[in-house]
A and B are shown apart, each in its own frame.
Chain A
Amino acid sequence: QVQLVQSGAEVKKPGASVKVSCKASGYSFSGFHMHWVRQAPGQGLEWMGRINPSSGGTDYAQKFQGRVTMTSDTSISTAYMELSRLTSDDTAVYYCARVGGGGTYYPHWGQGMLVSVSS
């Protein structure tokens, strides 16, 4: 079965960077886009961007342009999302989500990773 396992929670100082990993199993990693969604405490869901693991092509939300980098390593079926110049507003749970077979919806999610930004 499809599984997405994310790295553990991290605490970062303002101005630092964080790199979140998402290890996939149970399917052909290169065959499906991976998206990243975040959720600030008590808030809604926010789309950050996506990566095509096969080509490495990315599409980022304008809000994160210049601060976010999404990559993938097909040899270990792992996607990464790195966010730089962190502020307290970046405190959130970060999810990876794999698209479905027939379109851009998310039947499969990672368990989420809490990133706390505090001085």
Chain B
Amino acid sequence: DIQMTQSPSSLSASVGDRLTITCRASQSISNYLNWYQQKPGKAPKLLIYVASSLQTGVPSRFSGSGSGTDFTLTISSLQPEDFATYYCQQSYSTPLTFGQGTKVEIK
């Protein structure tokens, strides 16, 4: 199975901050990497697919990059509604696997 490791596991940030979350795969997954945002009690929401494609309706302050084993999710200017938990997911091979999550909290 492909292991996905996110860092950091949690962070505190302020509105307006630039934020970067990293995700590392245990083997190359090309660009088969997706990012989701999840708020408490809600289903995850797709932000980015195939590493860098912005899902329709997602604000442009979200961006993704990377290929192979190393990927990043960047939020250019953190907004109040962005405080949530973020997950990466590899879709290169089954079993599909998720990172452990990164919780973004208000500083």
Binding site for B on A (CB under 8 A): 35, 44-47, 50, 59, 61-63, 95, 100, 102-107, 109-112
A61 touches which of B36, B44, B56, B94 (Cβ 8 Å): B94
What B residues does A47 contact at CB under 8 A?
Answer: 94-98
Within 8 A of A (CB), among B20-78: 32, 34, 36, 38, 43-46, 49-50, 55-56
Known A-B contacts A45-B44, A95-B43; A61 and B95 likewise in contact (beta carbons under 8 Å): yes
Q: Give the CA-CA distance A111 to B43 in the complex, in Å.
A: 6
Binding site for A on B (CB under 8 A): 1, 32, 34, 36, 38, 43-46, 49-50, 55-56, 87, 89, 91, 94-101
Q: Give the CA-CA distance A43 to B44 in the complex, in Å.
A: 13
Q: Give the CA-CA distance A49 to B40 in the complex, in Å.
A: 24
Q: Give the CA-CA distance A83 to B43 in the complex, in Å.
A: 20
Whether B98 pairs with A103 at a CB distance below 8 angstroms is no
The chain B residue with its CB closest to the CB of A35 is B96
Whether A106 pairs with B46 at a CB distance below 8 angstroms is yes
Q: List 14 A-B contacts (CB under 8 A).
A: A44-B100, A45-B101, A47-B95, A47-B98, A62-B1, A105-B46, A105-B91, A106-B46, A107-B49, A107-B55, A109-B44, A109-B45, A111-B43, A112-B43
